[in-house]
Amino acid sequence: MPRKENQSNRLASSIFDASALGPIHRKDGPIYMHVYRRLAQLIDDGSLIEGARLPPSRFLAGQLAVSRFIVSYAYNLLAADGYITSRGRAGTFVRRSHERRAHLGGRADPSVPRPSATSAPMFSVGLAPVEFFPRKIWVNLVKRRYGGMSPSDLLPQDPQGSMTLRRALANRLAITRGIFCTPDQIFVTAGMAGATALTAAAMIRNGDRVLVEDPSDPRCVRAVGAAGAALIPVPVDADGMRIEEGLASCPLPRLTIVTPGCQYPMGVSLSVRRRKILLDLLRSTGSYAFEHDIQTDYRFSGSAVRSLASEAEGNGVIYALHLSEIVFPALHISCVAVPLELVESFRAACAQLPSMAGPIEQGALADLVRRGHILRFFSASHAACARRREALREAFAELGARTYVPDAGLHMLVALRSLPDRSALSMLREQGFAPEPLSRYSSSGHFPPALVVGFASVTEANARNAARLLAQYVELAH
């Protein structure tokens, strides 16, 4: 019997025709996802029999005229989802159906699913590993909310957001951030852009001077600039925003936009000394700070950093928590907690802005927060990100590349000899890779050539191949 099985494996490998994968259209998305989906379909419909041997990645890559790393990545995804298994030098084989069921069924916690293949581009910036999100629980929560709909849910909703969600968020901010506020001080917005647009509408008048970090998230800069603010870029170093330099240029800004817990995209924290300078400014003048909380929960080393709003004790700090960065991007929900004296001006502003997610999604999110599901998801997500961060760091180190891996956040910086041109970036996107030039985040252009590389979408098994493929398109600095 073993002899027959080996013969059938050799036969399956020898007659495998790459044309069975169909034509590859780059416009249809990442090539590795095309290879993954077609092979998975061939296995599911029995075209590739159980126990069949797949061709070596180098051989199949040659047939498809793509990089070997593309095929290796597709194979790794198939192995992660239980379709195939590697037997070392013997080759890669299609799993038997009972082996696949056992592979997929061995989960310790059914509320935290196994990672599965997603279409998220590799090295995507600002994405948490959504494959760990409890999708079945989310669907059940949404269904329950739909089942309990009342006629009032069909009417225009409070532009400030669902009271149920605001209560849940007020409780979460008190427990996890030390920010004590009432639900009336919380505004639910349409993601980061909505949070920034709301704050700008409530706070900025044409010509008001605003200090912004350099580099910083361009979405935030665009939204504040569109409100008529006079933007003053302030450099960022290892201790965060250089507050003293900003105040030398503008002693009394209307607003200071800062990411003190995890500077975006540099990943540094605002030092104690600079926090004190900023807080002293807020207490002694009518100036305000707009604190963005971006990926602060994803801290992998160093001490936990207290939020600026908790230190200010409700005086002078407008705080924004971007839930889409923690949960999943398609949710597109953020929240803003404002000092009591600003509640009315924010209410007037939010009535003029586009609405956010509907009452069903907001109610389901409130249930997810109140029942602790979000904590279990985050625990699994944080552990996976820690492993992926280390694997990618090691992969770049093997290539001799210079990297900066901050204590917090979901990305690292990879130094380049020179900035890639548009054609190189376009080819990377065609291959399903989405790193971003650091220059995209800077208005001054004073930073050396580097890529912002997200690691949440790169599994440990694929880190080495992903780093090598990136090195084919850009010149890594050593």
Domains of the chain: 2-105 (1.10.10.10), 136-373 (3.40.640.10), 375-473 (3.90.1150.10)
Looking at residue 185, its amino acid is: Q
Q: Please state, as a whole number, how many other Cβ atoms lie within 10 Å of the Cβ of residue 15.
A: 8
pLDDT score of 274: 96
What pTM was estimated for this model as a whole? 0.76
pLDDT score of 232: 95
Report the candidate in 128, 171, 170 with the shortest Cα–Cα distance to residue 388: 128
442, 214 contact by CB (below 8 A):
yes
pLDDT score of 324: 79
Phi then psi for residue 95, to 5 deg, are -70, 150
pLDDT in tens, 119-176: 578 898 888 888 888 889 999 999 999 888 888 777 778 889 999 999 999 998 998 8
Report the candidate in 328, 250, 241, 344 with the shortest Cα–Cα distance to residue 290: 241
Q: HSE-up of 192 (CA within 13 Å, CB side)?
A: 22
Residue holding tokens 């989906």? 37
Q: What is the mean pLDDT of each run of 10 residues along the chain (478 residues)?
A: 41 54 63 80 82 85 80 79 81 72 42 44 86 89 89 82 93 88 94 91 94 92 91 95 95 96 92 95 93 90 86 90 81 92 95 78 91 83 92 95 94 89 74 86 83 92 88 88
Phi then psi for residue 318, to 5 deg, are -95, 125
pLDDT score of 106: 42
pLDDT score of 29: 57
* Distances in whole angstroms, Cα of residue 143 to Cα of each of 31, 150, 360: 35, 14, 9
Query: What DSSP designation does 17 have?
Result: -
